[in-house]
Structure 1
Amino acid sequence: MSIINKPPESYKDCLLYRVLIDREKPNHEIIEKIEYFIEYVSPLLNLVVAGPFRNYTLHNPGHSKKLVHLGGQIVSESTLSKLTDLDIMLFIYSCYFHDLGMSITTKERNSLIQSQEYSDFQNENESFKNRVDKLRHLHSKAKDEFKSSLEVTLFQLQEFALSEILRRNHAKPETYSKLINYLKTKTGRKDLFAYNGVSFEEILIQICESHNLNSIVLGELISARDPRFERKLPIGGLYLNVQFVSAMLRITDILDFDRERTPIILFESLGIEENDLPGSKISLEEWNKHLSVHSIELSQNEIIINAESKHPSIEKAINEFAQIIEDEIKDTLASINYNDQEIKEKYNFKLPTNVRTKINSIEYVYHDLKLYLNQESIMTMLMGEQLYNNPGAALRELLQNSIDACNVRKKLSKEDYIPNISVKLKVSEDESKWLIIEDNGIGMDEYVISKYLFQVGSSYYRSNEFTKIIDSKYNPISRFGIGVISVFMISDFLKITTKNNDSIRGDYKNRNITISNKGSLAFITESEKGSQGTTMELRLKEEYSNKSYLSYFENYLRSVIIRPTVPIHVSIINHFVLKKKYISFKKNAIKNAEDLGIKYVVLDLDRFSDSIEGCAILPLYIEGDMLIFTRENRRIQFNEEKSINPHDVFEEYQGNRVTVNGFKIGLRRTSKIFGKRLRFAYDINVIGDEEVRYDVARDRIIGKGVTVVKNRVREAIVKALEETGIIDSLEESTLNFLRSSKLLQDDGTVIAEKEDLKKILNLIPQETWPIGLHQSIAKELGLRPGIVRNTISYFLDNDMVFDGRRK
C-alpha cells in the first residue's frame, strides 16, 4: 500500500518529465516545445478558474501539473522506460490542452449570455428555466435586502448554465482546432504542434476529445484492420501509441477527483435547486470547504479514497464518484488489454480495478437511505391483471429482443449472415414443459448482461454505447418495458445461454445464466465454446403448461406477430413459420368488382412514406373516366353487412390491421381518417420511432401517438393519390371531400376547421386561464362553444399549449 504523493512544485520535477530529461540522448526539440507550450498556455488556463468553473474544481495549471504527476504513478515501471519521447510529449500536451476550451474572458462571457445557445439551453431545461423565471418574478417585487440575496442566486444559476454550455462544447474537435490556430497565431510558432516537420494537430485533438467520450471508443475499429486509436503511429521518425496516451489522460483526469463530473449532484444537493432538507442550502462556494479528499492510497488490490465531509450530500457525492472512477478504470483497462501481445507487454498500467472510500463524517451520521420497492409486489402489479394481463406478452418481449439482436448482427456482419429465430417446446424427464426461444443474433457480453439485461425500463439499443457501434440510425423493435423479467409471468425458472463474438470489449465468452424464481440472484458460469446468439429457456408454471395454454401461446403469436423482419419458426403443438405478410386479393376479386362498376384503388404506402408501410384500398364507383365514392346517395365501403363483404375480396381476411415494427397494436378509428363518410380497407405497418407512443402494456397507441400515426397515414394516402395520378381521376365532389376533411380526435370528436385552429391557439393565454375561456373564445370567433372546448382539449392532449387550468 502506498499513498499517491502531492505533485511537486514544478512540472519539471514530475517523474514523466524527468524520464524525458534523463534519457541517454535527450530530444531537445521535444523538450523545448513542451516548456514553451506550458509557459504560454498556463495563463490561459487561469481564465478557467476566473470563469463559471471557479466553484467546481481547479482547471488551472495546477490541475494539469497533477495529471502529469499522476501519469508517472499509474504506468508500470517497465512501461515508463519504453514510452517514446513522442508518447510523453503528447500526454503532457494533452494535460495542459484538454480543458483549455473552458477558458473564457469577461467579453466572451457576456457574449455567450446574449447568444442563441444560452437561450436554447434555458429552453431545453424546463426546471432550470422555471427556477430562473420564479426568481426573477420574486426579484421584481422584493425589497433591497432580499433583492441582493436573489441576485446572488440568479448569478449562481447563470454561472451553472455557462459552465454546462462550456462543458458541452470544450471537448469538441472544432473547439480544439480553433484553439490550435489561435495559439499558432499568437505565438508565431507554426511548428508548435509538429515534430520533425510532421504535424500532430489532429492526433492531439483526437486524444483530448476522447477524455469526454465513452471509454469504449478506445477499442473501436474504423475497419477490420484500422483501429480508431492507433497503437503504433509513425510521426517524424518516432512511434506514438495514441490509444495508450488517451487512456493515460482519461485515468489521470478522473483520479484527480474531478468534481466537474458531478455538476448535477451539486445542482440538486447544494442549494441551487429548491431543497427543504436541514442544512442543504449550501452555496456553491461552500463546496470546496466541505469536501476534502486528503489522500489516495494505491495497492495491488484496490484504490482507497480518504476524505473528510461535513455534509451527507458531499459524502454521497464522494461515494458515487468513487464508483464512476472504478467503472472508468475497468472499462479503459478492458480496451487496453484487448491488444496483441507485443503492445500489451510494452504498454500497461499498474492499477487495481476496485475503488472504495474511507470517509470521516464530521458532526453527522451517514446513512444512505433510498426508496426501495417491494420486488414481489411490484412484479405482481406489473405482470398481474393490472398491466400485462396477457401472458403471451412475455413471448412478445423476448421475440422483439431476438429480432433486434438479429437485425444488429446483420448490420455489423462482414460476411453472409442468415438470421434465425425459433420458438419450440421441450418436455424434460420430470415432465416439466419448457418454452425455448433461440436466436443467432448479436448475443451479449458481460457488460450488456450486467447493465441492461435485468434492468426494467432500460434498453441497450437506446444507450450511448450502442449508438457508437451502429453508425447508421437504428430503430429498435423493442421499446422500454419490463423486459426479460416478463418471463416470470408464465415461468418459474429461467436459463439463458448467450455469446457475442462481435463484442467491442473482446469479451467472447459463452455464458450460462440461471435464475430460480423471480426474486433470486442470477447464477452465471462461463466457458470459451459456444455459438453466437442467445437462447432463453423458460420452465412453464404448472397452470401454463397444459395443452389449452400451449395452444393459446401459438394463437397469440399468430395474431400479434404479423410482419417480423426475421422469420420465426414455431414448434409448440403445431409447426409453422411467422413471416412478413400483407393483405392480398382473392382470385378474380378485382375483375368481379369492375363488372359491378367498382374499382379498388390500391395504394402502396411504403412508396410514399418513410414511416408507413403496407397498403390502403379505397373502393370507388366507376363513372365513365372518373371515380366517385357516392352514387345516388349510396356510399360504398368494405363492411360485412353493407356494400362489400371483405371476406369475399381478401385472402384470409382478419380485419383492418395496424402493426408497429411488425407487431399488432391497437389504434382506434383509423378508417375514419378522412371523416365518417369515407371508409377503406388497410393493412399498415408503422415504423415505431419515439413519437409513436404506446400504453404501458404496449397493446395500443395512445395520446399524441394516435394523432402522429393518423397524420402520417393520411399524408401517405394523399401523396400516393397525387403521385400516381389517381387524384386526377377523382370526380370533383370526391376530390373536394378529401381536401376538406376534418381533423378528428382519437374519439372521433370534431374540433375546429384548420383555418380556425391558429386563431384559437393565439387566444389561449400563457398564464392561469379565466373561467369560461372556451366560451369567450367561441363568442369572439363566432364558433360553437363545444367546438372550441374540444379544440382546447386537443391542444392540451398534444402538448401544444400552456396548461393554465385552475388546479
Structure 2
Amino acid sequence: MNQFTNYVELQAEKAENLSFCRGIKLLHIRDKVETMLGFIGKGGIFEEYTVHSIEHIDEMLKIVEWLIPDITKEKMTYAEWLMLTLAIYFHDLGMVVTKDEFEHRDETGFKEYKEKVLENTEEFEYEECAKERGDSFLYQEFVRENHAARIRQWIEGKNARNLGEAEAVCQEIEDILKNLDKMFKADLAMICESHHKDDIEDFSKYKVKKMYGNTENEKVNLNYIAIILRTADLLHITRDRTPSVARRLINVSNPVSVLEWEKQMAVRAVRPKDQRNEEGVVDNSKQKDTIEITAYFDGAETAEAYFGLSSYLQYTRKELAKCCEIVEKAQKREGAVGYEFPWREVDESQIEVNGFEKKKLQFTIAQDNILQLLVGHTLYNDSSVVVRELVQNGIDAVRLQTEYEKRNGKDYSQGKVWVEWNSVKRQLSFWDNGTGMSIQDVENYLLKVGASKYRDEVVKKQFPNFTSISHFGIGILTCFMVANDIDIVTSSDEQEEANSINLRKVNGSYLLRKMDKNELDVRIKQHGTMVKLYVRSDVDMAKLENDLRKWIVVPEIPVYLSLTAMKI
C-alpha cells in the first residue's frame, strides 16, 4: 500500500505531527503489522481459525466508517482517530506464535494451564485431540484465551513468561512504536486488551477526556474508542474471513472451527439498515440504528451453523444494548456530548435458508397444568426420573400407535422401546416405534410445558379407551437434569418428512429441520421417535446405570436395554 484510502486511516494520519507522536509514520506501522499478522495460522497454531490477517483489519476499518455517526466524526480529534486505528491494527497480534515460543511452551504459564485442563478432561477426550497434533491444539487455546492480555504486555514493553515466551515479537512491537509517547502507548495497550474484558463502563479507567498534549486535537475519549473497537470486531463476520480456497487447503476438522467457518461462510453482508418514514419510503436523512445481516445457508448440513450464527447475533444484541447504555452514561455523567452510539438492534430478516426450517422453537407454558403440577407434586431431583419419564413417553407412543392401527383395522403387535447407554461417549438414547410427532405435535405438546397430547380433547374423543401412563407433559424437561444438549428425531405418518430438533439448554432457543425418512434408522423410519441425551460430566454414572436397570421393567411393551462400554 502506497497511500491510505480509508477514511479512518486518513484521519489518523493527520495526527503524525502532534506533540506526543512526532516521528511516527502510520503507513510504516501498518506495513509492519501486516507482516506480523501473516504469522497467525502458521506452524500448526490457529491454522483452523478464521482469518485474522490484514484483510480483517481493513474490513474493521470499513465497518468503523459507518459505525460512527457523522455528528461524532465531526467531533472526533486526530488523536482519537490514531488511537482507534492503532487499536484495530494491534488488537489481534497477541495470537502471533513463533516457532521458538512454542518450543519453549513448558517453561511458561502453559504448563500450569495444561495441568488444569487435564484435571478436568476425560482421558479419552484428550487422547482423541492430542494423537494427531500433540500440544498444538491446547497451546492455541491457551494463547486464544490470553491473546488480549498478551498484546497489552507486549505494547507496554513487557515479556512476562506466564503468557508465553515472545521476546522477538515484543522487541518488534517496541521498535514499531518507539516514537510514540509512553502514556499514549500505555493507553493503547489498555484499549487493545479491552475487547476481551468486561469493564468498559469504568470511566476512571477509560477516561472520556484523556489529554496527551495541550491542543484540542490531542484529546481522546478512551471509553468511546474501546466501544467502537469491540463493536467493529464483533460485526466482522462476513465470508471474507473464511475463504473457501484456504479452507480446502488446510482441511478444517476441529468441530468448533468447522461451525465457525460454516457460520461465517454464509454471511454475505453486514451493513446499516435503511430507515423509512411514515409512508414506508427510505429516508436517508434519518439516523440509522439497526444492523442488517444478509446470509444464506444452503442444505440441512448447514443448520447447526445457522443456529450458531443466530446465537452469536443474540449475544451481539446484548453487547450493543450494553454499549448504548455506557455511551448514554458517559454523555450524562462525564460530559461526553456528541459521542453517539445509535445501534440498538440486529435485523435477521435477510438471512435465508434452504433445506431446513428457519423458525426457532421455544418452550411455552400451559399455565393451568403447570400450576397443578407445582401444587400437587414435588420437583424431581434425580436421574431415575429422566429414565422413567422417557420410557413412559415411549410406551405411551407405542400404545397410541396400536390404537391408530386398530381404528384402521390393522393388528399392531410390533411396538417396542429401546434404551441405549454408551458410557464412553456419555450418550443416552431412547427409541420407540410409536406414533412419532408431527411439527404441530412438537410445537403444541413437546415444547409446551405441562401440555400433553394424551389429554387433548380431540385425542380423547378419537380413542376413549386409551389412558396414558405419563400425566403431566414434562418428560422432555426432565432431560435437562442430566444433559444440556438433546437431539430428537421423530417420524410421523402425518408427514412425508421427519423432524429433527436440537435442544441447547433449557432456556435457549431450539432448531428445527426436516429430514428425508429414507435417511432414518429402520426402527423409526415409518413412524417413531429417537431422543438422544449428551449426559453432562457431573452426572453420577453409577447411579444412572443402576436407574436404567431399575426402570426397564415393563410387562406390556417390550423394552430393550443396551449397555455399551459399561464398567460393571
Q: Normalized against structure 1, the TM-score is what? A: 0.38
Could you say what secondary structure the match of 1:296 adopts?
strand
The residue number in structure 1 matching 2:269 is 295
Task: Give the AA of the match of 2:75.
Answer: K
Among 184, 191, 194, the residue aligned to 2:180: 194
What does the per-residue CA deviation read over 1:686-725, in whole Å, with 9 as the maximum and x for residues that have no partner?
xxxxxxxxxx9xxxxxxxxxxxxxxxxxxxxxxxxxxxxx
Q: 1:46 aligns with which of 35, 38, 41?
A: 38
- Cα 1:290/1:320, change in 2 over 3 Å: closer
Equivalent residue in structure 1 for 2:6, among 14, 18, 22 = 14
Identify unmatched segments of 5+ residues in structure 2.
Answer: 158-166, 242-251, 274-287, 382-448, 451-480, 482-541, 543-564
Q: In the alignment, which residue of structure 2 is the partner of 1:70?
A: 63
Q: Which residue of 2 aligns with 1:235?
A: 212
Which residue of the partner structure matches residue 87 of structure 1? 80
Decide whether aligned partners of structure 1 residues 19 and 374 sit closer, same or farther in structure 2, where only a CA change above 3 A counts. same
Following superposition, the deviation at residue 47 of structure 1 comes to 1.5
Which of the pair has more CA radius of gyration? 1
Is 2:311 the counterpart of 1:320? yes
Indicate conservation of the 8 Å contact 2:317/2:344, yes or no.
Answer: no
- Counterpart CA distance in 2 for 1:208 and 1:122 is 27
Distance in 1, Cα, partners of 2:307 & 2:297? 10
| SS of residue in 2 equivalent to 1:54 | coil
The 1:332/1:245 distance shift into structure 2, 3 A limit, reads same
| Residues 164, 188 of structure 1: alpha-carbon distance in 2 compared, 3 angstrom cutoff | closer
- Give the corresponding residue for 2:111: 116
Deviations 1:486-520 (A, max 9, x none): xxxxxxxxxxxxxxxxxxxxxxxxxxxxxxxx99x
Q: Which consecutive unaligned segments of at least 5 residues does structure 1 have?
A: 1-8, 137-150, 222-226, 262-269, 274-281, 390-517, 520-695, 697-767, 769-803
Q: Does the 8 A contact of 2:49 with 2:257 survive in 1?
A: no
Letter in 2 for 1:66: E
Aligned partner of 1:211 in structure 2 is 195
**CA drift at 1:293:** 1.1
Match for residue 548 of structure 2? none
CA distance in 2, matches of 1:369, 1:334: 30
In 2: Cα distance, 1:289 partner to 1:339 partner: 35
Aligned-pair identity in percent equals 20
| 1:238-282 deviation per Cα after TM superposition (whole angstroms, max 9, x unaligned) | 2111101111101111011289x9xxxxxxxx9756xxxxxxxx9
Distance (Å, rounded) in 1 between the aligned partners of 2:192 and 2:372: 49
Instruction: Report the secondary structure of 2:219's partner residue.
Output: strand
Q: Aligned-pair distance for 1:283?
A: 7.5
Structure 1 residues 231 and 292, CA, compared in 2 at 3 Å: closer, same or farther? same
Task: Report the Cα offset of residue 89 of structure 1.
Answer: 0.9
Over the residues paired in the alignment, what is the CA RMSD in angstroms? 4.1
Amino acid at match of 2:118: N
CA contact 2:87–2:192 (8 Å) conserved in 1: yes
Q: Cα gap change, 1:209/1:377 in structure 2, threshold over 3 Å: closer, same or farther? A: farther
Aligned residues: 343
SS of 1:312's equivalent in the other structure is: helix
Contact 1:64-1:95 at 8 Å conserved across structures: yes
CA offsets, 1:635-659, max 9 Å, x none?
Answer: xxxxxxxxxxxxxxxxxxxxxxxxx
1:133 aligned to which of 120, 124, 127: 127
Gap change, CA 1:186 and 1:340, over 3 Å in 2: closer
Contact 2:324 2:344 in 1 (8 A): no
CA distance in 2: counterparts of 1:212 and 1:104, whole angstroms? 19
SS of equivalent residue, structure 1 residue 339? helix
Distance 2:39 2:364 in 1: 45
Q: Quick one: structure 1 residues 131 and 232, their matched pair in 2 at CA, closer, same or farther if it must change by over 3 Å?
A: same
In 1, the alpha carbon distance for the partners of 2:294 and 2:340 equals 26
Deviation at 1:187, TM superposition (A): 6.8
Instruction: Decide whether aligned partners of structure 1 residues 388 and 130 sit closer, same or farther in structure 2, where only a CA change above 3 A counts.
Output: closer
Q: Quick one: which amino acid aligns to residue 290 of structure 2?
A: E
TM-score (norm 2): 0.52
Other structure's SS at 1:317 match:
helix
Per the TM alignment, residue 367 of structure 1 is displaced from its structure 2 partner at its CA by: 5.0
Contact map agreement 1:210 1:246 (CA 8 A) in 2: yes
Tell me, yes or no, if the aligned pair for 1:382 and 1:388 is still in contact at 8 Å.
no
Residue type matched to 1:252 in 2? A
Q: Matches of residues 487-506 of structure 1 in structure 2 within 5 Å?
A: none
Task: Name the counterpart of 1:330.
Answer: 321
Contact kept, 8 Å, 2:91 with 2:193, in 1: the verdict is yes
Distance 2:48 2:304 in 1: 16
